Every structure is written in C-alpha cells, then in structure tokens.
Structure 1
C-alpha cells in the first residue's frame, strides 16, 4: 500500500476527492479543510494499493496538483485494516508487478546526479579495486563492487530512454562519464604514489593473477552476466526491493575494470588498459540494454493488464 498526502487549493478539493473515490484500490480517505499553510489549502490523505498508485498520481498531476499544491507519496510497511485488504484485492494486477513511474523518475534523478558524494564513492571504490587487482585479492574486488554507485546513472539512462526524458539522459550520462573519468584519473595518481612508497609493484600487475585476471579479459560471459544483472537491478528498482541491488553491484565488472585500466595505464601496460576498458564498456552496454528492455516490457505488460481488468 501507498500513503498519499495531498495539499489542494480549496477550489480543487472536491475534484480531488471525487477522483480518489472513483479510483479502484483506494481507502482511508481523510479531508482536513484549511489545514495547510504553505501552500495554503486543504489537506487530503488516502491510502492506495500500489497497483493503482501510478494511475492515481498521473490523474492528480493532470489536475495540476503538483504545480498548485503538493503530492507526497510514502510506502506503508504495515497496514492492519480490512478496508486496506479489500482495496488491494479490488485493484487490478499485482502490487509487485506495478511500476510507479513518477517514483522511479524521482529516484533515478537523485541517484544519477553528479555530486561530490557520488564522485567520492566511485573514486573510493576504484581505489579499493586498484588494491584488489594489484594484490590479486577477490575480497577487495567484491568490496569495491559493493561500494560503487554507478548503477544509479545506468538506471537513469534506462528510465530516460523509456520515458523519453532527454534531460535525465544527459544528467545520467554526464554523471557516468565524468564519474568514471575522474575516478580513473585519481586512481592513476594513487597507483603512482603507492608504487613510489613501495606498496605497489609492476611485477604484481604483470604476474599471474588467478583471482582477478578476469577484469581485463572480457568474453561472452561478461556480457551475459551484465545483461542478467541489468534485468535484476531494474526489477529491484521498480519493485522497491532495493536489497537486491547489492547482489547486482557485486556481479558486474565495472569498477574493477576501471581500476585495472587505471593501474595498467600508470605502468604503461597498453594491453591491459585496452582489455580493461573493453570489459568496462561491455558491462555498461549490457546493463543499459537489459535495463531498457526490462522497463519497456514492464510498461507494455502493465498497460495490457489495465486494459483487460
């Protein structure tokens, strides 16, 4: 269930209430006349089944409530109510299959913005991965994968393509490219510093690395895993199962490949630099293609469910 808290201009409250009442899957309607101060107006609250949420939010935006008032949406973790159970039963489809497109766009907007925090995380992840590839330490590689925030911009690109939002696409692409470029540049300097103090050695990079050699040797499985991870990551976002994103993060070779490319570049190893870059690009491409396909399929399937309800 979702909880909606709306601020409506007094003259539009009746329209909003009628809209909520005729939407299948809504319950617990509360109207507080004159309760809002900034902006001034009435406060309307209701609960709605997740599978009916996107339709209701879209209709509220059609009324202009996002411009003249406010639309706030929260997930309800626990609702002990027969009316809520009945509303979920009456709503078409399954809540787990429903996609809140407005919520997805808002989430990916935040996660795909080029910020100091985003750059810090991707840089730290790349530096951790650099230690992992030099030491041939799989644990550090997995840790770096978990820290990397790159799935946010990737999800933003996928969402922007399906929803046709060029600004979101530009923002996401900028965060992805600038983030990786900056992280790799810093990691080159980090590798040179570690070499100067005797902690990194070129022989470690060039020697046998059974645990981490995969980061600069892309193959068919690299693309297949990236596609599967892209599907899983997209489903975790649209179904609000954010915990699955950790599994997605540690299944694709993006940050480790960028780290290996940076360290190899610091030592002038062109072969590993190219191989790692190819691995990085192959994984990014697989995730984006899979994410776009998954969102498009969800959009089509959900539209058909609503048409046949």
Structure 2
C-alpha cells in the first residue's frame, strides 16, 4: 500500500475527492478542509494499492494539482485493514512488482545530480580502486565498486529515455562525465604523488595481476555481465525489493577501470589506459542499454495492466451507480 498526502487548492478539492473516492483501489480517504496554509486550501489523505498508483497519480496530474499544490507518495509499511486487502485484490498484478513512475523518476533526478557528495564518493571509490590495482587485491576492488555512486546516474539514462525527460538525460550524462573525470583526475594526482615519494613504481602497475587483470582486458563477458547486472539493478530500483543492489555494484568494473586509466596516465602506460577505456565504455554502454530495455519492457507491461485496471474500475463504478439508483427507486426495497 501507498499513502498519498495531497495539498489541494480549494478550487480543486472537489475534483480530487471525486477522483479518489470513485476508484476501488483507494481503501482509505480523508479530507481536512482548510488545513493547508501553503498553498492555501485543503489537506487530503488517501491509502491506495501500489499497483494502481500510476493511474491515480496521472489523473491527479491532469487536474493540475502539482502546479498549485503538491502530491506526496510514501510506502505505508505494515498495515492491518480488510478494506486495504480488498483494494489490493481488485488491483491486478503484484505490489512488489509494480513500478511507481513518479517515485522512480524522482529517485533518478536525485541519484544523477552531480553534487559534492556524488563527486566525493566517486573520487574516494576510484582512489580505493587504484590502491586495489597496485596491491592486486580483489577485496579492495569490491569495496571500491560498492562505494561508487555511478549506477544511479546510469539507470537515470534509461529512465530519461523511457519517460522522455530530456532534462534528466542531460543531467545524467553530465554527472557521469564529470564524475569519472574528477575521479580519474584525483587518482592521477594521488598516483603522481605516490610515484614521487617512491611508494609506487611502473613495475607495480605493469606487473602480472592475476586478481585484477580483468580490469584492463575487456571481452564479450564484460558486456554480458553489464547487461545482466543492469537489468537486475533496475528491477531492484523500480520494485519494492531492493536487496539486489549490492550485487550490481560488485558485478561491473566501471570504477576500477577509471582507476586504472588514472594509473596509466600517471605512469605513462598507454596499453593500460586504452584497455581500461574500452572496459569503462563497454560497461557503461551495456548497463545503459540494459537499463533502458528493462524499463521499456516494464512500461509496456504495466501500461497494459493499467488499461485492464481502468476497465475494471469503470465496471465497478457503473455497478455501484446502478445499485444506488435501484435503492433510491420508490418501492425498490419491497412493500
């Protein structure tokens, strides 16, 4: 279940209440007149089955609620309600599988913002990956991949294409380009400092590395793993199940490849640079393609589910009106 908290201008409240009250997926509905001071108007609270949230949110947006008021969406957590159970049963599909596009899009904007935190995390992750390469440590490579924040921006590329958000597409591309550039620059400076201090030599970078050699030797499996990992990551992000994200972070070598580029630049090893650039581009491209394809498939599937749900809701409303009409007819209840 999801909870909707709507700040509605007074002139839209009647239309909002009519939209919510006529939908069988809404199990609870409350209106507090005059409770909203900014914007001035009313506060409306509703509980809705997650599977039906997209339809309701789209209809509220058609009313223009988001322009003068606001719509907040939050998971209900644990709940006990026979009405809510009935609402879920009337909404086709599974709540855990359903995609709430407003939530996914908002998350994509937040994850792809090239802010200080994003740049700091990608720089720290690249530094750790650089140390992992020098020490030939798989444990440190995994740690660097978990810290890296780039998957959110890569997933945002797919969201932008599927939902046709050109601003989000540009923001995600800027975040990725700037993030990797900053991470590589910071790691290059650190590698140059380590080289000047005599802590690291060219031999450390060019030596045979059985545990981390895959970072600069891309092959077809690199692309296949990126496709599978991104599909799993997008499913985890868009559904109510988020346990698979850590597996995505440690499956692809974007951050380690960026770190190896930095080491190659610092120590003048072009073959390391070129192999790592290929690895980085291959992984980012594979993840972006798989993310877009997964989101597109979800949009098609849930679009059809929403169409079926709308037809069901229309039939239920028609039956309810028929029952009310028959009950109000004189003599309908018997002599």
Establish whether TM, by shorter chain, passes 0.5. yes
**1:221 alignment counterpart:** 221
Residue of structure 1 equivalent to 2:322:
none
Matched, 1:286 2:286: yes
Q: CA RMSD in A?
A: 1.0
- For the Cα contact (< 8 Å) 1:93–1:306, is it kept in 2? no
How many residue pairs were aligned?
Answer: 309
1:186 maps to 186
Number of the residue aligned with 1:139: 139
Displacement of 1:81 after TM fit?
A: 1.2
1:4 Cα deviation after fit: 0.3
Indicate yes or no: 2:133 matched with 1:115. Answer: no
- What is the rounded CA distance, in whole Å, between the counterparts of 2:212 and 2:202 in structure 1? 15
Q: Does 1:74 align with 2:74?
A: yes
CA distance in 2 between counterparts of 1:217 and 1:203 reads: 18
1:23-34 equivalences in 2 (<5 Å): 23-34=23-34
Measured against aligned partners, the alpha-carbon deviations of 1:117-168 in whole angstroms (never above 9, x if no partner) come to: 1000000000000000010011110000000000111111111111111111
Instruction: Give runs of aligned pairs for residues 147-166 of structure 1, distance below 5 A.
Output: 147-166=147-166
Q: Report how far residue 264 of structure 1 moved.
A: 1.3
Equivalence for 1:296: 296
Secondary structure (helix, strand or coil) at the match of 1:211 reads coil
- 1:229-249: CA deviation from partner (whole Å, max 9, x where unpaired): 110111111104333211111
Q: Distance in 1 between matches of 2:155 and 2:41?
A: 36
What is the match of residue 237 of structure 1? 237
Which runs of 5 or more structure 1 residues have no equivalent in the other structure? none
| Structure 2 unpaired stretches of 5+ | 310-335
Query: Contact conserved, 1:232 with 1:248, CA < 8 A, in 2?
Result: yes
Q: Secondary structure at the match of 1:96?
A: coil
TM-score by length of 1: 0.98
Alignment deviations for residues 54-88 of structure 1 (CA, whole Å, 9 cap, x no partner): 11111111111001111111111111111111111
Counterpart in the other structure of 1:52: 52
Matches of 2:204 and 2:241 in 1, distance apart?
40
The residue that corresponds to 2:96 in the other structure is 96
Is the 1:24–1:90 Cα contact (8 Å) retained in structure 2? yes
Quick one: distance in 2 between partners of 1:262 and 1:56? 49
Shift of 1:38: 1.2
Distance 1:106 1:6 in 2: 17
Contact 1:114 1:175 in 2 (8 A): yes
2:323 alignment counterpart:
none
Higher alpha-carbon deviation: 130-139 or 18-27: 18-27
Structure 2 CA distance for aligned equivalents of residues 305 and 60 of structure 1: 19
Deviations 1:239-263 (A, max 9, x none): 0433321111111010001101110
Alpha-carbon distance in 2 for matches of 1:306, 1:166: 25
- TM-aligned CA deviation for residue 97 of structure 1: 2.4
In the TM superposition, residue 199 of structure 1 has moved relative to its aligned partner by 2.3
Once the two structures are overlaid, the 10-residue window that deviates more, 14-23 or 291-300, is: 14-23
